[in-house]
Structure 1
Amino acid sequence: MLQQTDRLALAVPDAAKSAADLNAIFDSVVIDDSVDADANARRITLQWGFDQLELFEPLGDGPVAEFIEEGKRGLFAGGFALDDPGHLAGKIADAGIPVTQQGDRYMVFPKDLRGTGVILSPMQENEKAGMNDRIWQITYTVPNLEEGVEFYGELFGLQDALTSYYTSQVWGYRGAITWFHSQKGAGLDSLEFLDPYEHDKAAGRFLAKTEGIGGIYMSC
């Protein structure tokens, strides 16, 4: 099962500029600059507190270019750490979802999983860099709350995790938060689901932009 959030991947038109801008604001630092052949993209990795940000710049046709061309610039994938990412990756593949192995980590591209790209990495301790401490929540927008929680819960092995349900009348959605046991010095680490019922508000507009499929709405 997923154990903690540990990274975000952003699709951007210019990874170097995005890295420079983020580093100037948040004091994050570049720890890797390489080519991701599977994504056909330049990938710049920033140390962001105890976690990491990955900036994907398309080098040609591929999942990153497709994501940007569809107007979905921004949250390309959410990353999670666990003791045995290979085991969970195998379970996801057995469900008929394409999984790409990249060394000791595994990636699912957004188009293959309801708009929610996923990176599974082994647990590791990183030295903190910059002003932020960590990524503590990744939020999916889904067209049906109960079905979404059940689907991802089964897929990610979270059936026994505590899930809290709530309604936001201000923002016009029903929500659920599945909690992880935080490993990074604070009590909050989670995967959130939003099911909009007021489609003129932000989450509803996002869901409509994805043609009702959903995707990664935000992260904190």
Structure 2
Amino acid sequence: MFNNINTIQLVTNNNDLVCNQWQKLLSAQKVSQDTVDTLNAKRTILYAGNAKVELLEQLGDGEVAKFLSSNPRGGLFSVGLSTTNLEKFTASLDSKNISYITEKEQIYIDETLTTEGGLRVVVSTFEKNEISGLLNRFFEVSYLVSSPDAISSELATKFRLNQASFDLTESKEFGFTGFHTYINDSCTDDIEVIHPLDETNTMGRFFKNKGPGLYMCFAESSNMNEIRSRANEILPGGWIGSTDENTIPESAFLHPKLLGGVMVGVKGK
């Protein structure tokens, strides 16, 4: 099993522009720039909460360029998970014949991981980081599939997760059903494996047009009012949630235009 969600990777058309968006809205801290040969991309790394946000901009043909061809505005490319022992983790992958590439102390697993595809995972060593900016931590990504039951079972087998801990999740409001596929014993972080039930809403249209894949991510914050204020100032309507300034909102969504093409759900902590 894993420790936590420690990285969110986004594909962008312009790393500098999207980096500025994360800094302006969420006070994310830019820490470094380099390249990822595996993805043929240049990378900008920021700290947001206790996790990293890695921005990927294509340098030429490769997985990032391929992603952009079907997602011209960029978006959520992969989820990063942490482990205390990378060597033990790669041995487990080898025993199950799961292909991966190692680069710069990260393990890249492509979207052939599941039978439906669309889920990319990058694994690195767990680090206990201080909180940076207005987010506390990322705790969930949503993965849209046709068969949540089968895919959750696949992930349990391939990553040695405790399937007995998985919770059923469903929403009439947003039109989906599936499972919280917990990645750790504490059941605090998960890949939400879900199937959209309504082709007419945003999630349903996304799945119909793009097929299986990562849809959005979720984070906790102790600064909900400040995020709301900044979001509405930057992009009117960019904060999708309560507008009552006399109360601290329990949760909301940040429009993809605010953060380089990814929708981020925020939950008060």
Give the alignment partner of residue 132 of structure 2, picking from 122, 129, 132: 129
1:65 is matched with 65
- Seen in structure 2, the aligned counterparts of structure 1 residues 87 and 21 have a Cα distance that, compared at 3 Å, is same
Unaligned runs of 5+ in 1: none
2:146 is matched with 143
- Seen in structure 2, the aligned counterparts of structure 1 residues 8 and 24 have a Cα distance that, compared at 3 Å, is same
Q: CA deviation at 1:204?
A: 2.1
**135-144 vs 68-77, which moves further:** 68-77
- Seen in structure 2, the aligned counterparts of structure 1 residues 112 and 57 have a Cα distance that, compared at 3 Å, is farther
8 Å CA contact 1:143, 1:207 repeated in 2? no
2:193 is matched with 193
8 Å CA contact 1:11, 1:64 repeated in 2? yes
Write the mapping of 1:77-92 to structure 2, written as runs, cut at 5 A: 77-92=78-93
- Seen in structure 2, the aligned counterparts of structure 1 residues 173 and 160 have a Cα distance that, compared at 3 Å, is closer
Write the mapping of 1:15-34 to structure 2, written as runs, cut at 5 A: 15-34=15-34
Unaligned runs of 5+ in 2: 219-269
1:76 is matched with 77
**64-73 vs 35-44, which moves further:** 64-73
In the alignment, does 2:155 pair up with 1:157? no
Once the two structures are superposed, residues 175-198 of structure 1 have per-residue CA deviations (whole angstroms, 9 ceiling, x without a partner) of 21133345xxxx832221111222
8 Å CA contact 1:82, 1:120 repeated in 2? yes
Q: Equivalents in 1 of 2:53, 2:185: separation in Å? A: 21
* Paired AA for residue 179 in structure 2: A
- Seen in structure 2, the aligned counterparts of structure 1 residues 140 and 89 have a Cα distance that, compared at 3 Å, is farther
Q: Equivalents in 2 of 1:130, 1:161: separation in Å? A: 35
Q: Equivalents in 1 of 2:168, 2:2: separation in Å? A: 19
Q: TM-score, normalised by structure 2?
A: 0.73
Q: TM-score, normalised by structure 1?
A: 0.89
Q: CA deviation at 1:97?
A: 4.1
- Seen in structure 2, the aligned counterparts of structure 1 residues 90 and 115 have a Cα distance that, compared at 3 Å, is farther
2:213 is matched with 215
- Seen in structure 2, the aligned counterparts of structure 1 residues 188 and 159 have a Cα distance that, compared at 3 Å, is closer
- Seen in structure 2, the aligned counterparts of structure 1 residues 90 and 139 have a Cα distance that, compared at 3 Å, is farther
Q: Percent identity?
A: 22
Q: Equivalents in 1 of 2:206, 2:3: separation in Å? A: 27
Once the two structures are superposed, residues 48-92 of structure 1 have per-residue CA deviations (whole angstroms, 9 ceiling, x without a partner) of 111110000001111101100122620100001111233333434
Write the mapping of 1:160-175 to structure 2, written as runs, cut at 5 A: 160=163, 162-175=165-178
Once the two structures are superposed, residues 99-128 of structure 1 have per-residue CA deviations (whole angstroms, 9 ceiling, x without a partner) of 110132201234665111111011111222
Report the secondary structure of 2:138's partner residue. Answer: coil
